[in-house]
Amino acid sequence: MQTIRRMMEHLYWADRRIMEALDENGTKDKDILKLVRHVAVAEQVWLSRLEGKGSSQYALWEEEDDVGTLKTMFEENERRYRNYIDRLEENRLDDIVEYANQSGVPFRTSVRDILSQVLLHGQYHRGQINRALRQDSAEPVQVDFITFARL
């Protein structure tokens, strides 16, 4: 659990850093904001599944032009994930979660693997967001784990 907790702390930190970069750069690029929203919604989708709820109410690829709304989404995600992780016991990491993906296809995945997906998915897209910020003549932000670990 210690590693998962640490990695989740990195996720919260990295999400905040991306939002700070958007604020600082005043980014209005719809593709960048759509990708940021995708990360926030994907976090919501996976947490909903971990909590035994459906996820069909979530649209993964909608546009959002309000940075404040995105910031609120990440703040809520952090609050909800902290609550979930605080209650999660190590002996439950290999429990199997049954869920349907956004297309309705059923799957069975361990809690451990779902949390790993959340962590890796966000980091993958934060790299894309940083690249897009650079192409938009904005300053990308350092979100590597080692940067977080050095704090």
Give tens-digit pLDDT for 65-97. 899 999 999 999 999 999 999 999 999 999 999
Residue 49: pLDDT band with limits 50, 70, 90:
very high
Biggest CA–CA distance in the chain, Å, is 47
Q: Which pTM was predicted?
A: 0.95
What whole-number percentage of the chain has pLDDT above 90?
A: 93
Q: In this model, does residue 136 exceed pLDDT 90?
A: no
What is the C-alpha separation between 126 and 17, in angstroms, rounded? Answer: 10
The average pLDDT across 10-26 equals 95
pLDDT in tens, 109-135: 999 999 999 999 999 999 999 999 999
10 belongs to an annotated ligand binding site: no
Determine the 3-state secondary structure of 106 from DSSP: strand
pLDDT of residue 139: 86
Domains of the chain: 2-149 (1.20.120.450)
